Structure 1
């Protein structure tokens, strides 16, 4: 076999200098293979084939960069997080040396280190894509991620009880108690935000992205066309994105009481804007900080947690619990599942289906009990 050698090149990923070689049965074949490798290096920015020494960390960085332009920034940051979780175990190991057994040990170690099954599954999903990227770029022939076994969802009795469907939404008396607490202890924006969350089923990112123009007080509707992304909750580093799915773009009706609350809120907002003048960030958001900048979902979450100390029930509060609460209310009102999905902007909703099924079964049980009482009186 004849070997062809390149000049010393700088690896664009690792920054290290090295020589690239290729072998062939003839000088011409070796030269053609070498030119192909050099072209791949120029095109993909990494050494391919058996000569590649690229580490998992370097390959992951390349994949994240190439994939970034095709997804939302929020999705990219999620991928960065999960790649970091997985990569800390094998970051400096050459991709070609990562075996299926080694990959499985990473999965098993993540479980031992206390990561949730959901985190492990998401990290695995990213790692699979990274190794597929390596196959496409001729760095490896097979993926070590194939056939990996995910940890089983082992739950204690207490965890099972906490994950009951009823813990995912508020009953009527619980919601009433919460809203009364907001009326008594609430801070600026709280009452309006939590009323909208509970009685529209909107996602918190959609609520924070609302602008005054999205509220139609005459038709009593809210137009949902966007969501907000806020880097680490920093005030001036927000970005408006398209909603989660195409079905998330929707219009929801609101009760007159909500309309009246929002009219008062927008009037106060206008007064605050006039008082602040040039210091006001005039992007016309419905819910803002003291200077006109929009609220972040994280900010609302912290506001919500402060109410737990005043409530008599022990359910953990988060913005999404109101979305599930709205599902239960719609089910009780007689709405069918497709109508509920449409109002919530769901393409598919596992928990929504669970709550709908649970509530309708409870309603049927009450009907059956009532019918039994009538029969007992008559027979």
Structure 2
């Protein structure tokens, strides 16, 4: 997901029983002011989508919801409950800047000297899907691109590597059959 889509997620967007979530909005907050944000529709119709999630993420979301409920109770005098999954302790949506700073702090602590942004995880997810052999059409839908050409243009270098790998695998298979 894009960081704005993630920060806009509300509990009403998640179906933990069916292991899926629905992306219908994006958080727009250019000034990083926790009170001054807008929830906008995503850029394209393809960006509105349902994403299947795995059991590990479902479990993590359930645990997060319990912790969040405890935080709501503790801060009930100031908690502004708008249903955000990734809310601050006062209920307002978390700021993008906070996520970016935490990533930098974790990278420094882990002694990783790379410029990793929240969007980097989206690219990594896509790379892993391609490596796992997931089709481009499925990846396009999961990422929320309206046009498959966008997906192909962004990730063409990865699919080229997969084509080379497929060629070598096919060659090995044929060699084994002929010997």
Please say which structure displays the higher CA radius of gyration.
1
Per the TM alignment, residue 349 of structure 1 is displaced from its structure 2 partner at its CA by 6.9
Q: Write the distance in 1 (CA, Å) between the matches of 2:143 and 2:158.
A: 17
Q: Write the distance in 1 (CA, Å) between the matches of 2:148 and 2:104.
A: 25
Q: Secondary structure at the match of 2:88?
A: coil
Per the TM alignment, residue 378 of structure 1 is displaced from its structure 2 partner at its CA by 6.4
Judge conservation of contact 2:21–2:50 (CA < 8 Å) in 1.
Answer: yes
Per the TM alignment, residue 308 of structure 1 is displaced from its structure 2 partner at its CA by 2.4
Q: Which residue is 1:323 aligned to? A: 122
Q: Write the distance in 1 (CA, Å) between the matches of 2:11 and 2:176.
A: 57
Q: Which residue is 2:82 aligned to? A: 283
Q: Which runs of 5+ in 1 are unaligned?
A: 1-201
Change (3 A) 1:376 1:248: closer
Report whether the alignment pairs 1:217 with 2:16: yes
Report whether the alignment pairs 1:227 with 2:21: no
Judge conservation of contact 1:229–1:240 (CA < 8 Å) in 2.
Answer: yes
1:322-341 mapped onto 2 (5 Å cutoff):
322-341=121-140
Q: Secondary structure at the match of 1:277?
A: coil
Change (3 A) 1:333 1:233: same
Judge conservation of contact 2:137–2:148 (CA < 8 Å) in 1.
Answer: no
TM-score normalised per structure 1: 0.43
Q: Which residue is 1:204 aligned to? A: 3
Deviations 1:64-122 (A, max 9, x none): xxxxxxxxxxxxxxxxxxxxxxxxxxxxxxxxxxxxxxxxxxxxxxxxxxxxxxxxxxx
Q: Which runs of 5+ in 2 are unaligned?
A: none
- Figure out how many residues of one structure are paired with residues of the other and give that number: 178
Report whether the alignment pairs 1:265 with 2:31: no
Per the TM alignment, residue 289 of structure 1 is displaced from its structure 2 partner at its CA by 1.2
Q: Which residue is 1:105 aligned to? A: none
Report whether the alignment pairs 1:244 with 2:43: yes
Q: Which runs of 4+ in 1 moved over 6 A?
A: none
Change (3 A) 1:306 1:350: farther
Relative contact order higher in (CA < 8 Å, ≥ 6 apart): 2
Q: Which residue is 1:345 aligned to? A: 144
Q: Write the distance in 1 (CA, Å) between the matches of 2:45 and 2:124.
A: 23
1:1-379 mapped onto 2 (5 Å cutoff):
202-311=1-110, 314-348=113-147, 352-354=151-153, 356-370=155-169, 375=175
Change (3 A) 1:310 1:215: same
Q: Write the distance in 1 (CA, Å) between the matches of 2:133 and 2:176.
A: 27
Per the TM alignment, residue 250 of structure 1 is displaced from its structure 2 partner at its CA by 1.0
